[in-house]
């Protein structure tokens, strides 16, 4: 029996449209044979689009992946990494690394990091709805601001894309603070199934809405930036050697490549120096972010503790690098 959705519609007519397109059935997967064959064996003839997310304990390089959610047009599959083990996740590797399968996800960085360090999987060809939202906003004239990354709850609430209230998400965050190992509970409770499914239930619908809004330039920027986000927390010696090539620009914007090509840089921070970069209550890194039109991330509690990651066009990244290295040389706050 399908768990009742915890997403509440703001408008009945909008819900009718979304329910028509959203997956309905929820399948718990513990064996690869329970997954659709067309997902396990991707091909260029399919051009498959899949809603995608991961849940786990302290999900990152040192955490534990517990569930991987896959949303198709006709159902949601909860891939149980604990019950199915490494063999089940490895069976998903071809699709997760395939250029023929678009993975629609909201903020791919930590999920990609977990897949890479725990299973050696290089997540590829993502449609990151967080990145897409920012590009559409800029495309429509909104001024860029640092750290202006929309949350998944706020994206669902935006009537241009979904118009759905996801109140239970906050409740689950409270549960995770009290019990960080919430996603390790087995058997999966109905609530766990419901929450996991709702994290991917509307991604395909949002993807369709966003694709209609994205212009040729924004589509390329989305693919490129998504590829860089997938690599972001995976920076170690030689880590990029076997990653797929970064997507090149379409012909109609190739002449603008020199100004628009984005790169990823990882700035090494000596032990004990991260505080100089962050500053009192984050004041120092905020000034750097405000001075450079680039995305700047630190590893935080999940790590890595010795690097700052910068994503943006070459000029802005080099500017951020210089400012970050300048802070490392400062002896007083």
Q: What is the pLDDT of residue 18?
A: 42
* Contact between 56 and 64 (Cβ < 8 Å): yes
* Contact between 59 and 176 (Cβ < 8 Å): no
pLDDT mean over 302-308: 89
Q: What is the pLDDT of residue 252?
A: 67
Name the DSSP letter for residue 159: T
The band of 83, judged by pLDDT with boundaries at 50, 70 and 90, is very high
* Contact between 265 and 321 (Cβ < 8 Å): yes
Q: What is the pLDDT of residue 171?
A: 82
CB atoms within 10 A of CB 326: 12
C-alpha span between 190 and 2 (Å, rounded): 9
The band of 13, judged by pLDDT with boundaries at 50, 70 and 90, is very low
pLDDT mean over 15-40: 77
Higher-confidence residue of 132 and 6: namely 132
* Contact between 227 and 246 (Cβ < 8 Å): yes
- On average, the pLDDT of the chain sits at 88
Q: Is the pLDDT of residue 239 over 60?
A: no
Q: Is the pLDDT of residue 251 over 50?
A: yes
Q: Is the pLDDT of residue 85 over 90?
A: yes
CA distances from 15 to 5, 8, 129, 159, 205 (A): 12, 9, 20, 11, 11
Question: H-helix or E-strand containing 164?
Answer: strand 164-165
Q: Is the pLDDT of residue 88 over 80?
A: yes
Q: Is the pLDDT of residue 2 over 50?
A: no
Report CA Rg, the chain: 20
Q: Is the pLDDT of residue 253 over 70?
A: no
Q: Give the CA count within 13 Å in the CB-facing half-sphere of 120.
A: 6
pLDDT in tens, 120-178: 999 999 999 999 999 999 999 999 898 899 999 999 999 999 999 888 777 888 888 89
Tokens standing for 273?
Answer: 């120096």
C-alpha span between 192 and 143 (Å, rounded): 39
The band of 112, judged by pLDDT with boundaries at 50, 70 and 90, is very high
Q: Where are the alpha helices (DSSP H) in the chain?
A: 12-21, 37-40, 81-91, 93-97, 109-119, 129-139, 152-157, 168-178, 190-198, 203-213, 216-231, 257-260, 274-278, 283-291, 314-328
From the list 96, 114, 195, the residue with the least C-alpha distance to 152 is 195
Higher-confidence residue of 332 and 196: namely 196
C-alpha span between 329 and 276 (Å, rounded): 8
* Contact between 200 and 76 (Cβ < 8 Å): yes
Share above pLDDT 70 across residues of the chain, in percent, rounded to a whole number: 88
Q: Taking the model in full, what pTM does it have?
A: 0.90
* Contact between 230 and 123 (Cβ < 8 Å): yes
Q: Give the CA count within 13 Å in the CB-facing half-sphere of 329.
A: 6
From the list 239, 261, 232, 268, the residue with the least C-alpha distance to 149 is 232
Q: Is the pLDDT of residue 16 over 60?
A: no
Q: What is the pLDDT of residue 159?
A: 96
pLDDT in tens, 267-298: 999 999 999 999 999 999 999 999 999 999 99
pLDDT in tens, 38-70: 999 999 988 899 999 999 999 999 999 999 999
* Contact between 213 and 142 (Cβ < 8 Å): no
* Contact between 241 and 117 (Cβ < 8 Å): no
C-alpha span between 121 and 94 (Å, rounded): 9
Name the DSSP letter for residue 281: G
CA distances from 154 to 130, 158, 159, 256, 268 (A): 10, 6, 10, 33, 33
């Amino acid at each position: 029996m399908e768990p009742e959705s915890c997403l509440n519609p703001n408008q009945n007519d909008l819900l009718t449209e979304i329910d028509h397109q959203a997956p309905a059935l929820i399948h718990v997967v513990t064996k690869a044979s329970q997954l659709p064959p067309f997902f396990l064996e991707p091909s260029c003839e399919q051009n498959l689009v899949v809603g995608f997310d991961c849940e786990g304990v302290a999900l990152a390089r040192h955490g534990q992946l517990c569930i991987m959610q896959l949303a198709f047009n006709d159902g949601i599959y909860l891939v149980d990494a604990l019950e199915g083990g490494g063999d089940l996740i490895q069976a998903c590797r071809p699709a997760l690394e395939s250029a023929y399968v678009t993975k629609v996800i909201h903020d791919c960085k930590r999920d990609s990091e977990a897949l890479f360090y725990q299973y050696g999987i290089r997540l590829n060809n993502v449609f990151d709805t967080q990145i897409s939202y920012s590009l559409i906003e800029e495309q429509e004239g909104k001024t860029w601001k640092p750290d202006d990354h929309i949350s998944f709850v706020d994206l669902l609430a935006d009537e241009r894309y979904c118009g759905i209230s996801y109140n239970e998400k906050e409740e689950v965050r409270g549960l995770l603070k009290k019990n960080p190992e919430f996603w390790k509970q087995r058997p999966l409770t109905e609530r766990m199934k419901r929450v996991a499914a709702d994290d991917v239930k509307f991604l395909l619908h949002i993807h369709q809405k966003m694709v209609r809004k994205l212009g040729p330039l924004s589509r390329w920027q989305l693919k490129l930036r998504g590829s860089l986000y997938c690599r972001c927390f995976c920076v170690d010696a030689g880590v990029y050697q076997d990653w797929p090539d970064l997507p090149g620009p379409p012909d109609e914007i190739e002449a603008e490549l020199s100004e628009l090509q984005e790169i990823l840089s990882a700035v090494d921070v000596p032990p004990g120096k991260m505080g100089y970069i962050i500053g009192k209550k984050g004041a120092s890194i905020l000034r750097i972010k405000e001075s450079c039109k680039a995305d700047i991330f630190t590893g935080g509690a999940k790590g890595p503790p010795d690097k700052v990651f910068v994503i943006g066009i070459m000029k802005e990244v080099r500017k951020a690098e210089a400012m970050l290295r300048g802070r490392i040389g400062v002896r007083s706050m």
